[in-house]
Amino acid sequence: MKKQYNFNKDSFKFAENVELHDHKLETKPLSYMQDAWIRFRKNKASVVAAVIIGILLLFSLLAPLFTPYTVAYNDARYRYLLPKNRLCYNLGLDFWDGCKEKEVTKELFYYYYSMGVETGHNAVKNQEYEMEVVQDGTKKTTYYRFRLDTYQAVGMMYMNLTAEEYANIQAYQDDTGIQVIYPITVKSKRPQANQDNSDANFWYETVMSNGKTMASLDENGNYIDIYRPYTGEYYDGYTSSVRVEGEGVYLYDYALPNQTGYQVRVNYYEYYIYNHTVVLQDGIGEPVFIFGATSFGQDIFTCLANGGRFSFMLAIIVASVNLFVGAIYGAIEGYYGGSADLIMERISDIISAVPFMIVITLLKYHLGASSNLWALLLAFFIQGWIGMAARVRMQFYRFKNQEYILAARTLGASDGRLMFKHIFPNAIGTIITGSVLVIPGVIFSESNLSYLGIINLSAGNITSIGTLLAGAQPYMTSFPHMLFFPAMFISLLMLSFNLFGNGLRDAFNPSLRGSEE
C-alpha cells in the first residue's frame, strides 16, 4: 500500500533563472612529463648528478675527436709520463707541467743535468736545482732537489738506421735547423757498468764511485765529452750542416757503419717529432699527454675517453634489450597470473640461480679468447632481464585490479590494450628508474670483470675503465696519476647515476603528481 503525502502548493516557488557555468582555470594544465620535470628540478642533487653524467658522456663521445692519439698507440720509451698541459708548461707553472719533484744524490743528478748541457733539452727543469749537504757522523752526502721533466728524461738513445733513413733525417735537420743526430761516442770510453754501457746519455767521461757511474769533470767543473773524433778513417755518411762543432767543421763522427746501415745517437724527443710528422704523418707532433701515459706508453686521456664510450654504449644496449625483454615477460606474468605466472617465475628462478661469474666463464671458454665482447654481451642478456621482469610483474599485480582497469575491461578493452595502454603507463616511473640504474650496474660489472682479468677488452682500439685500473694498480705509489683519472671517472659515474635514479623515481611517481613538495 503506497503512502500518500499532502503538499501545499504554496510551499513551492520558481527557482531563479541563473546561468550555471564552470570557472576558468587559473593555471595552465600540465602534462605528465611537465609535472615530472618540475618535481625532478626540485631535487638539486639529482640535477647536479644529471649534469655530471652529461659531462662524462660528452667527454666520452667528443674527446677522441680532439686528440691525435688512439687506443692502439703506444711508445715504450714514453711510459709512465706525468700529465702535461701546454699552457701550464709554457707559463712556467710547477703544476700540470709533466714534471715531478726529485731528490737524488750527485751521481744521478749529473746524469740528468748532462742532458740539458749537451742538447738544450733540459731533464732538470730550467736547469734549476737546490743543494743540501747532510752530515751523518763523519760522512757527508750532498742531495740535489729539482723538478724532473719526465718527457725530456728519456734523453738520447742508440738507433740502427738504413742509409735512406739516415739521409732523410739529415735532410729534415737541414730544413728545420733542429738537430736530431748527435756525435757517436768512443766505445772504449763508455761506462764500465753493464747497465750503463749501452746508455746513450753518457756522452761524457765517467769513473766508478762506490759501484756507481759518476761523471768525471774537469778542473772548471765542466763535462768532458767522449765523442769519437773525426779521422776520415771511414765514411760516416753525415753531410748535414746541423752539427755540434759548427757548419763546415768536421770534428766528430756521427755514425758507425754496420750491416744494416748506420748506428747513430739521436735525441729521442726530437726523433719522436720527426717520426710522427714526417714519416708516419699521423697528426701527432710534440709529445703531450694531458692525463699522462700508461705503463705501455698509451695516452690515458684517449684510453679513458674510449673506455668510457665503450662502457656507455655497452650499458645502454644491455639496458635497452633487458627493458624490452623484461617488460614483455613481466607484463605477461603480472597480468595473467595463475599457472602462467607460476611456470614463468620458475624459469626465471632457474636462470637467476646460476651465478653470473659461471655464466660468463662458460661463455668465454665456449666462444674462445677472441670473443670476449660477445661473451660479455650474452652474459648480460641471459640474466639481465630478470630484475626488470620482476619489477614489471610487481607493478602489474599492483594495478591490474584497480577500478579504472575493471571499467575498461567492462567496456570491452582487449588484454593488450589493458596491459600497455592502461597499466604500463602507470608503472613507467618504476620501470624508467630501474632501467637507468641498470646502466651503472652494467658499467661497474664490466669494469670488475676487466679489472680481475676475466674479460680482456684491451685488443686493438678497444679498452675499458677496468683495464686501465688493472694496469695502474701496481703503480699506485710511484705513478698515482695512472690510477687517479680512471678511478675518478667511475666513482663520479656510479655516484651520479644513483642520485640521478633517485630523482627519476620521485619525478615519475604517480602518487606525487601535482604535489608541491
pLDDT tens-digit map of 194-249: 889 999 999 999 998 888 899 999 888 899 999 999 888 888 889 999 998 876 77
In CATH terms, the superfamily for domain 45-62+299-512 is MetI-like (1.10.3720.10)
| Strand-strand pairing, 139-149 and 156-161 | unpaired
| Neighbouring-strand partners of residue 133 | 142
pLDDT at 178: 94
- Which residue type is seen at 9? K
Sign of the torsion angle spanned by Cα atoms 402, 404, 410, 416? negative
Read off the pTM.
0.85
147 touches 100 (CB < 8 A): yes
pLDDT digits (tens, 9 = 90+) for 77-88: 999 999 999 899
- Mean pLDDT is lowest, of 8-22, 147-161, 351-365, for 8-22
From start to end of 348-497, where are the E strands?
none
373 touches 462 (CB < 8 A): yes
Where are the domains positioned within the chain? 45-62+299-512, 86-149, 156-280
pLDDT at 447 over 50: yes
pLDDT at 122: 95
Model confidence band, residue 517 (pLDDT cutoffs 50, 70, 90): very low
Rounded mean pLDDT of 411-438? 82
- What are the backbone angles phi and psi of residue 212, rounded to the nearest 5°? -120, 150
pLDDT digits (tens, 9 = 90+) for 244-297: 887 677 889 999 998 889 999 999 999 999 999 999 999 999 999 999 999 999
DSSP one-letter code for 264 = E
Rounded mean pLDDT of 34-41? 81
Q: What is the longest distance spanned by two Cα atoms in the chain?
A: 146
pLDDT at 50: 92
d(CA 443, CA 260): 50
Percentage of the residues of the chain whose pLDDT score is greater than 70: 91
Question: How far apart, in Å, are the Cα atoms of 86 and each of 82, 89, 291?
Answer: 13, 5, 12
pLDDT at 1 over 60: no
pLDDT digits (tens, 9 = 90+) for 135-164: 776 677 889 999 999 999 999 999 999 999
Helices (H), 198-299: 268-274
